[in-house]
Amino acid sequence: MATIAVLVVAFVALSMVLVSDRDFTTTWGVASLNEGSGTLTVLDEEERTARACARVAQRYGLTRREEEVLVLMMRGYTLARIGEELYVADSTMKTHSRHIYRKVGVGNRNELQEFVAARRG
């Protein structure tokens, strides 16, 4: 058992030496969106989108649940998938999306995505 533990520790140490930071971040999906510049990661983009959704929610009086739905809509989830994630019925999801559209003043998801994207700053 001790031999296996030593081998595991040696393997982990060796892999840390051999794998560069670039390989690690690319492997784990945190690659740069601006290839070469290395300034904006997928996680940064998610954070900017979440903040924009929070600003829109506050400015236009969305409920917490509507804000959750908005974030998932901005990630491109279908209403059915959002319903599965939040454990609510499809009819409830349709109601949430209608309320979001009405409060923000848009007619459909494309307009909503453009609206939120304009506030990502």
pLDDT digits (tens, 9 = 90+) for 3-29: 777 666 666 665 655 554 444 444 444
pTM: 0.65
Q: Say how many C-beta atoms besides its own lie within 10 A of residue 71's C-beta.
A: 19
Helix (H) or strand (E) holding 51: helix 42-60
DSSP annotation of 32 reads: B
Residue stretches of the chain with pLDDT short of 50? 20-34, 36
**SS3 call for 41:** strand
- Rounded CA-CA distance 36/45 in Å is 16
